[in-house]
Chains A and B, each alone.
Chain A
Amino acid sequence: MAVRTEPFVLNMGPVHPSTHGVFRMRVTLDGEVVVDIEPVFGYLHRGIEKLAEQRTYAGIIPLTDRLDYISSMNNNFAYCLAVEKLAGIKVPERAEYIRVIISELQRIAALLIAVGAFLNDCGAFFTPFLYMFRERERIVDLFEMVSGQRLTYNYLRAGGVSQDLPEEFLPALRKFMDMMPRFMDEYDRLLQQNEILIARAKGVGILPAEQAINCSISGPVLRASGVKWDIRKDDPYSIYDRFDFDVPTQPAGDCYDRYRQRVEEMRQSLRIIEQAMKQIPSGPVRAEVPHLIHPPVGEAYGRIECPKGELGFYLVSDNSIAPYRCHIRPPSLINLTALRDMVRGWKVADLIIIFGSIDITVGEIDR
C-alpha cells in the first residue's frame, strides 16, 4: 500500500529566537522541505508614519530612532537629510564630518550584529555573537559619550548635530580604530575558512542579480548578488564624495556571500572613518535653524545607504510645522520580497539561515 502524504503547515514565530524580533512565517512543508512560506507582519506596528503627521519636524527625530533600533544614527541621518532638502538648510563642515564618522561607526555596529546573528542561526550558538558584541560595546560607549544614550541616540538635528564631540571622543575613537582591524582579522581566522560555515551557507539561498533588482532589494544583499550599487558612491550625499573607498561585491549571491559582503563592508567603513578623522575641521556643529521649521510647500526624498540598504524618507510639506505626509522607505521590509522564492525547495534549517542572511529589524518592517 502506498503511503499517503500531505503538506504540513508550520507556524514559525512571532516569538522565536531565529526570527530576530516578532516576525512570523506560515511555512508549508513537505516532510522537511519548504514548499511555500507566507510572512505575517504587524506585531510591532506602532503607526509611526501617522504619529509623524502630528509632530514638529524636530519632534520626529526620536521616532526615527525607534525604526531600525540597532542603527538609530543612520535613521536620524536619513530623516535629517530629507528635512534639509525640503527646507533648504545648509550643514556646517564640522557637522558633516561628525555625521559621517558617526554613521560609519553605526554601520559597523549594525553589521556586527547582522553577522553575529547570522552565525547564531547557522548553529554557532552565541560564541561568535558575543565576540561581535565585544566590539559593538566599544562603539556604543563612543555613542554614549556623544549623546548620553546607548540605543536610541536622538543625536542628529536638521542642520547639524545636537552637540559637539566631547574632548575625549577622538582619542577614544583612535584607540578603537587601532584595535578594530585586529579584531576583523580574528573573525576571518575563525570563520572565513570554517568548514561548517561553508557547508551550511555556500550555495544556499541563491538570489540572482536580475531578480534582486526586480524585487527592489538594496544594500549588502543586492551587492552580494553581484550588483555594484551603493548610494554612497552612486548618489553621494553629505560629503561621501570626498572619501576614497571601494564598493565590494560578491559573485554568487548565496548566504555565504552575504556574510562575506558584510565583513568586507566593515573594512571599507573603517577606511572612511580613518580619512574623516584626519580631515575633520573645527567650527560650528549646527546651522542656525529655527526651533519650528516651516518648509515651503513641496516634497523631498532623502535617502542614505544604511546597513540594511536604501533607507529613505519621503516628506510632503504644506508649509505648516508638521509634515503633511512622512513616508519611510524601509529596506528591511522590501528586502524580504524575494524571501519566498529564495527558500522554496530548501529544508527548514536552511530557511532559518537564508532568512538570517537577509538581516532585518522588525521595528523597521512594521513601523
Chain B
Amino acid sequence: MLGLAAVGLLAAACGSSSSSSSAAAKASSGPTSAASSKGPIVIGGLEGTAAEGGVNFIDGMQVGVDVINAQGGVDGRQLKLDTISTGGTPQGAVAAYEQAASNGAIGAFLGAAGGIAIRNQAPTTQVPVIIADGVQTDFSPARPYVFANSQGAAFSTSSLYYGVHTDHMKSIAVLSYTGDDFSEQVPGYIQSGCKALGCTVTVSETAPYSASQAQLVPLLEKMKASNADGYYIEGLNPSAFVAAKQLGMFNKPVLSEQYLTVPQIAAACGTSCDGVVFAGERCAATSLLPSSDPLKAACDTYKQQFAKYFPNQPFPNFSIYGDQAVQVLAFAAGNLIKSGKALTPANINTQLEHLSGLNTLLGVVNSSPTNHLITGTFQSTFLMLTITGVSGGAATFAVAPNTTAEAGAPNPNN
C-alpha cells in the first residue's frame, strides 16, 4: 500500500510544474475587483487573543473609523470596520484575513496572534495587511502586501542603547518569554544590539510568559550571579519585576520595553516596576510632552475620543496602533479617490509603499517599496520612561533619568 502511494505521489510529482510564479498567480485567491464607487470603504479588523492583548487594538480601530465617519468619511465615503475573529490561532488568523479579502476589504489590520502565518499568505491573498506584533521581520526585509506599524527590534535595542550610553552598561543579562511572537525575538534583538553597541550578554534566560514568581526566581538568580552591569527584563510578565525586586536586583539598572504602558500590566506590576526604564509611546505619557510636540495634541484628542466611545475604561495605550492603521488606510484610500484611481487592494498597497510626511499617532510616516514600516522614527514616536506609581489602575510615568522628552528614545538602527 505504501508502495502504491509512493508511486502515485511520484507520478503527480513528475507532472508538476517547476514554475512557481505562474502557479502562484493561478492559485491566487486575492480580490481583483475595485470597491464600489459609492459603497462604504471596508477595512478588515482581525481580532483575537494575544499575549499582548487583542481587543484594545480593535477598539482603537473603531474609534478611528467613527471619528473619520463623523467628519464626513473619506471624500464623502464612509468607512466600515469589518471585525473578524481569528480565534487567536495562526490558521484562524489566515482564515480571517482571507475572509476580509473576500468581504472586499481594501486593507486589514491584525490585532492578535498569527502575524507570521498571515505574512506568509499575503503574497497570495494580495490584500495589504498591517501587523502590530512587533516582529522585526514583518517589515525587514519588505514583504509583498505586509506592513508593520510596530517597530520590532527597536523596542529592545532602544532600551539597550539607553543602558549602554546613559547607564554605561558594558554587560547585560536578559530575561524573555516563550509563547509570544515578539517576546521570543528579544534575545536575538539584544544579541545583535550588543554586537553593534559593544556590550556583552552575560546570560539570556527564557520562561513561559505565564511563569510564576517562584519559577522565575532561579532564572533571575542566574542573571544576578552573572554580575552583569544591568538587566533587561521583558515586560510581558509583571511577576518577573516583583521577583527581581525581591532579589534586590534593582540596585542595578533594569530595562524593559513598552508592555509596561499597558494599564493592566502596569497595575499588576505595582510598585515593583518603579524605576524600570523602558521606551514607551509618546501617546502613553502626553503629560510629559512639551506643548511643541505634535503628538501631544493628537494623542490627547485621541484619548478624549476613546473615552467618549469607551468610557470608564483605563486608556489602553496599544489601541493607538489600531487607530493609526485606520488613519493610514483611510489616507491611502483618500489619495486614490482624489486621483481617480480604482480603490483596489493592489493600489492601496502601492499607496502604502509611497507614504510621505503623513502625520499619525505613531509619528510622521515615510515608507517605500523597501521600507514597509509605516510609523515615524522611533525617536520621534517614543521616549524613555520610567514608572513612578500606579493609581486607579493606571501607571504614572516620568521621563527616564538623564534624558528628556524632546530627545526621545534612541534607536541604534537609525
Chain A bound to chain B: no
